[in-house]
Amino acid sequence: MSEKGPNFVIRKLEEDIDNLRRETNEKIEGLEKHFGLAIMAVFKLFRAMANFLSSTTPNTKETAIANFQFMRDCYLGLAKLAIEEEMKRDLITDFKEVLTNVLRGSDRIPFDDMIDLLLRGLGMDLTREWVSPNVIAEVWGAKALEKFKEMLSE
C-alpha cells in the first residue's frame, strides 16, 4: 500500500486536475483566437460595406446621418464582442480610418452642417473620439478647426 496508498491516489488526482486545467485553458485560448478572427472578418465586411455605401450613395443629409448611425451601431455591437483590449483598439482605429475617408470625401458639405450630421449620427462621444482635428483642418480649414475644438471643450 506504500506506492498505491492514499498519497499516491491524491497525487494522481492532482495531476489529472492540473492536466484538465491546462487542456481546458488551451482550448479556451484556441476558441478565443477563432472568435477574434471571426469578429475581425465581420469588421472587414463592415468596413467594405461602409466604404461602398459612402462612395455610392448620394451625399444628402439624410444618407449621411443614416451612414453615421450605421457606423455607430456596428461599432457598438462589435465592441461588445471584442474580448481583448487590442481588438477594441483595432476596431477604434479602423472606424476612425473609415470616418476619415468619409470626411475627406465630404468637402462640399459646409462644416456646420457636417458637425450637425456627425452629432446626430454618431453622438458627441464618438465624434469626440473618432474625428481627427487634423482632418477637420485639412478639409474645412483653420476656422472650422477652431470651432471644432471649441465644440469639443464644451
15 within some domain:
no
Helical segments of the chain, H only: 6-56, 61-81, 85-104, 111-121, 124-130, 133-140, 142-153
String of b and e for 37-58 (b: at least 16 CB within 10 Å)?
A: eebbeebeebbeebeeebeeee
Q: Which residue do the cell numbers 491524491 mark?
A: 10
101 within some domain:
yes
Domains: count for the chain: 1
56 within some domain:
yes
Phi-psi label, residue 138: left if phi above 0, alpha if psi -120 to 50, beta otherwise: alpha
CB 87 within 8 A of CB 40: yes
Sign (positive or negative) of CA dihedral 33, 39, 41, 43: negative
36 within some domain:
no
Q: Alpha-carbon distance 26 to 117, whole Å?
A: 46
3 within some domain:
no
110 within some domain:
yes
- pLDDT value for 142: 94
The pTM of the whole model exceeds 0.75: no
Mean per-residue pLDDT, 87-110: 84
- pLDDT value for 34: 84
Query: In this structure, what C-alpha cell is assigned to residue 127?
Result: 465624434
57 within some domain:
yes
As a whole number, the mean pLDDT across the chain is: 85
| Domain span holding position 134 | 43-153
pLDDT in tens, 52-82: 877 787 777 888 888 888 889 988 888 887 7
146 within some domain:
yes
Q: Measure the CA angle with vertex 74, ends 70 and 77; round to 5°.
A: 140
